[in-house]
Amino acid sequence: MTLSLCTTSHTPLMGRADPGAGVRERVEAAFDQARATIRDADPELVILFAPDHYNGFFYEVMPPFCIAAAAESVGDYGLPAGPLPVDAAAARRIAAAVLADGIDVAVSERMQVDHGFTQPLHLLFGAIDAVPVVPVFVNCVAEPLGPVTRARLLGAAVGRAAQALGRRVLIMGSGGLSHDPPVPRIQDAPPEIAERLIAGRNPAPEVRAARESGVVRAVAAFAAGDSHLLPLNPGWDADLMALLAGGDLESIDARPNDWFAANGGHSAHEVRTWIAAYAALGAAGRYRVDTSFYEAIPEWIAGFGLTTARTLPV
């Protein structure tokens, strides 16, 4: 049994907004390094912690966490649609172990996932169906959110369950770091938007396209400096990445939800996926970060980070 890790930001603006050739080349070089590390690890299974952006989970029932025994991509932002190769037996075994460990987690036999799950699979493996996967949804946008310590405890429980599988497992976290995209909040939303947040599943293609075009326009305005959205925060991102690399994950427990939103924007809560992933890796013992990339990319409205790590021999 071995555990390895890859965490990465995601952005639907990749390929839709040009941050300049130098930026694209540096990001691609970081992904090349991550791909090489993953090839060396040769994972038999991927456990993927990722958020949703009101494409698969809605306020009709919003769990804090959910493990999928089957999942399908909605195909947003031009990414592939269709089923993911979920290892149902592994997913059910992990869910049972996590529940037995005292972490309340929902289970889905028909999860819908969006670019938060599919973009890293597509970028790192070349397809969304290249490797068996267990998707783990972490609510990062729909308030109220639980304390961040719950994400750490979820990750640790998943990591212990992953160890018991006796397989080569890659733990992935998709999301963060600082970014404040135009995601509506139900408490401020007009009735038609609130209804979409409650029950907006499977919109018509033209509705989804219009929504995505609106996001592209809003981010273009942000990159041009004409926006009320919170700026990226490279200093905050660096501190958080250093804390995760250092392994002192429990020190995050005391940080309130407002601290994340005030410093990194409302979608900075997506870093919960990184915290869960690092906690899962840490369940197997000490670890070492091998790849660490960061660049603030306004055109993608992303404090864009990517790391890989592996456990150290005992």
Question: Is 179 marked active-site?
Answer: yes
Instruction: Say which DSSP state 69 is in.
Output: S
What is the reported pLDDT for 21? 87
Catalytic choice (10, 53, 115, 266): 115
**Mean of per-residue pLDDT scores for the chain:** 96
Query: DSSP letters of 121-185?
Result: HHHHHSSTTSS-EEEEEE--SSSS---THHHHHHHHHHHHHHHHHTSEEEEEEE--SS-------
Number of domains in the chain: 1
Catalytic choice (53, 179, 266, 269): 179
* Residues 46/133, Cβ–Cβ less than 8 Å: yes
* Residues 302/9, Cβ–Cβ less than 8 Å: yes
What is the reported pLDDT for 176? 86
- Residue 72: name the closest of 90, 58, 52 by CA: 52
Mean pLDDT value across residues 120-127: 98
* Residues 75/82, Cβ–Cβ less than 8 Å: yes
Q: Kindly report the number of other CB atoms within 10 A of residue 13's CB atom.
A: 22
Q: What is the CATH classification number for the domain harbouring 170?
A: 3.40.830.10
Which H/E stretch holds residue 270? none
197-215 tens-digit pLDDT: 999 999 999 999 999 999 9
HSE at residue 230, side-chain half, CA atoms within 13 A, is 21
18-72 tens-digit pLDDT: 898 899 999 999 999 999 999 999 999 999 999 999 999 999 999 999 999 999 9
- Round to whole Å and give the CA distance between 165 and 291: 26
Question: Is 115 marked active-site?
Answer: yes
What is the reported pLDDT for 1? 64
- Domain that includes residue 156, residue range: 3-311
